[in-house]
Structure 1
Amino acid sequence: MKRNVRPNNDGGIIFGFIILAVGVLILLKKLDVFYPDWLLSWPMILIAIGVITLVKHEFKSFFGVVMLSLGAYFLLEREFGLDFGIQRFIFPIALIGLGIYLITQKRKEQQVMNDIQDQIRSKSKVGASSGSSYASSSSSEDNESVGATYNQSGQNKSYSGMSGVSGTSFSDSVSIDSIMSGINKRMLTKNFQGGKLTAAFGGIDLDLTQTDFTGMVTLQVDVIFGGIKLVVPPHWDVRVEVTNIAAGVEDKRVYRQTEVDSDKVMVIKGTVFFGGLEIKSY
C-alpha cells in the first residue's frame, strides 16, 4: 500500500526556536545584559510570522513574503530611522499586489480546467474511434489501453493550483490563501493528497465529506486573525498537531459507534495565531 510522504519542513520547530529566543532575550533583560531593543519590537512579530509561514510552505507562500516584507520595512523605518518615503504608498501597493495575485491564481485555475477538458475530449474521441474500427473484444482491449494512458498522464500532471476560489474542485490537492476574504470550497477527488490552507484576516470553509484517499495525508493550516472550518467524514482518523497562540482549536466531530478507518489518516499541522480552527463531521 502506497502512503503519502509527510514533508520534513516542520515550521513548528522554527516556532519553538523563536519562542526559545524570546525567552532568552527577556531573561537577559532581567539580568541587565545589553542587547538591541529592536529584537523585541512589534515589527519582529511580523518577521517571525513571515519566516514561519515561508518555511512551512517551502518558501512559496505569498502571505509569508508579504508579512516578512512589512516587518522588515517597519523595522528599518522605526528602529533605524531609514525613511524610504513610501509609507503613504503602502496601502495602494498592497492592494495592487493582492489584485495581481488573485488574477494570477484565477488564470492558473482556468488553464488547469482547460487542460482537463482537453484531455477528456481527447479520450472520448479515441474511444469512439476504437469502437468503430475494431470488434468488441479488441475494442475492449484498446479502451483499457487508452484508459491506462489517460490515467498515467493525469498522474504525471499536478492540478494543485486550482483551488484559490470558492466552489467545487476535482483537484487531488488543495492550496487556498484567504487574505481579507472568505472562501468556501468543496473537494470531490477520490485521491486526496492534502495541501495547505492560509487564512489571514479572512475565513476558509473546506468540505471534504465527498473526498476519499488511502494512506496518510498532511494538511497544513496557518491562521492569523482569521478562521478555518473543516468538514470531514466521521470515519477518518484525524490527528491535530497544530500550534495555537491566543486561539481556539475545536474538534466537533460527531461520535460514531463504528470503528475509525486506520487506513485513512489525515494529519493537520500548522499554526493558529489569534484565530480559530474548527473540525466537524455529519
Structure 2
Amino acid sequence: METSKRKRNQSGWGYFTALLFIASGIIVLCKNLNIIDTYVYNIIMSWQMLLTLIGIFSIIKGHFVSGLVTSAIGIYFLMPVIGMINGNFNIYFWPVLLMGFGILIIVKIFYHPKHECKFRRNEKTEFISTDGFINVDNSLGGIRQTILDETFKGGKIRNRFGSVILDLRRTTLGEGDTLLEIDCNFGGIEIYTPSSWNIRSEIIPFAGGYDDKRIHSSNIHNDRSLILRGTLSFSGIEIKN
C-alpha cells in the first residue's frame, strides 16, 4: 500500500512536469503563429504563473500549507503583470496571508497533536531515533536529526520552507536496499553518511538539485544501498561525509 502511494505521488509530479512542457510548447507555437498576442504570452509564460501552478498542484496533492503559500506568492506577483493590483489590495494581501498561514499551523498542530513523530528530544535539542526509522515533518524551521541506532532502517522526510540535517555517520545499513522517502518544497536537506555507503538517487527534481559531495572511499559496500526517492521543488539535497 505504501509502495503504491509512493508511485502515485511520483507519477503525479511526473505527469505535471510533462504537461507543463507540452503546454509550454503549444503556447510558444501559438505565439510564433500569431494566434496569441505578446501580452497574453508574457503572462502565461511568466515565472509568477509557474509558481502559481506549482502551488495549486501541491494543494491538489495534499500539501495544503506549502501549496497555499506558494500559489499566494505567485498570484501576488502576478497581479501587477495583469494590472489587477492597487493600493488597497497591497495593504490587505500580506497581513491576511500571514494570519491565514498562522491559523493553518495552529489547526495542523491541533489536528496532529503527536505530529506523527517517532523521536525523543535530548538535552542538545537534537532528535534521536528510537527504532532505526525516521519520520520528519518540518515546516518553516530547522531540524537536525542524528541516528544512533545500530542499523538505519529508512523513513520519510517532508520539508517545506525549512532545512533538515540528517546525520547517519554513527549508524550502518542492513543488507539490501534501505529506502528514504523525501518530499521537499522550497527548502534544503543535508545528509551526512560514511564515504563507503552506496547511495542511489531516484529523486524527481523540479527546479531543484541533488549533489553528492562526499570524498568517496575505494571500499564501497555494494551489498547494501541507501535509496533516496521522492520529489524536489525549488529545493536541494546535498550528501556529505
Question: Is this a same-fold pair by TM over 0.5?
Answer: yes
> 2:65, 2:168 → 1: CA distance?
25
Could you list the per-position Cα deviations for residues 86-129 of structure 1 after superposition, in whole angstroms to 9, with x for gaps in the alignment? Answer: 52422222233335445655x314xxxxxxxxxxxxxxxxxxxx
Root mean square deviation, CA, Å: 3.9
1:187 alignment partner, one of 142, 147, 168: 147
> 1:20, 1:262 → 2: CA distance?
41
1:206 alignment partner, one of 139, 155, 166: 166
- 2:7 corresponds in structure 1 to 8
**1:64 paired to 2:94:** no
**1:219 paired to 2:181:** yes
The structure with the largest helix share of the pair is 1
Q: SS of 1:33's equivalent? A: coil
> 2:182, 2:147 → 1: CA distance?
16
Q: CA deviation at 1:82?
A: 9.9
1:257 alignment partner, one of 218, 227, 236: 218
Q: CA deviation at 1:80?
A: 9.3
Query: Structure 1 residues 242-251 or 15-24, which shifts more?
Result: 242-251
> 2:184, 2:23 → 1: CA distance?
22
> 2:100, 2:59 → 1: CA distance?
21
> 1:50, 1:78 → 2: CA distance?
19
- 2:51 corresponds in structure 1 to 46
Gaps of 5+ in 1: 110-159
The within-5 A match list for 1:73-88 is: 87=93, 88=95
Q: CA deviation at 1:239?
A: 1.6
- 1:279 corresponds in structure 2 to 239
- 2:128 corresponds in structure 1 to 168
Q: CA deviation at 1:271?
A: 1.9
Q: How many residue pairs end up in the alignment?
A: 221
> 1:46, 1:258 → 2: CA distance?
43
Question: 1:232·1:280 contact (CA, 8 Å) conserved in 2?
Answer: yes
Gaps of 5+ in 2: none
Deviation >6 Å, runs of 4+ = 72-78, 82-85
Report the identity percentage. Answer: 22
Question: 2:214·2:239 contact (CA, 8 Å) conserved in 1?
Answer: yes
Which amino acid letter does the alignment assign opposite residue 179 of structure 2? Answer: V
Q: TM-score, normalised by structure 1?
A: 0.60
Q: TM-score, normalised by structure 2?
A: 0.68
CA distance change for structure 1 residues 223 and 69 in 2, over 3 Å: closer, same or farther?
closer
Q: CA deviation at 1:79?
A: 5.1
- 1:20 corresponds in structure 2 to 22
User: If you compute each CA radius of gyration, which structure gives the higher value, 1 or 2?
Assistant: 1
CA distance change for structure 1 residues 272 and 260 in 2, over 3 Å: closer, same or farther?
farther
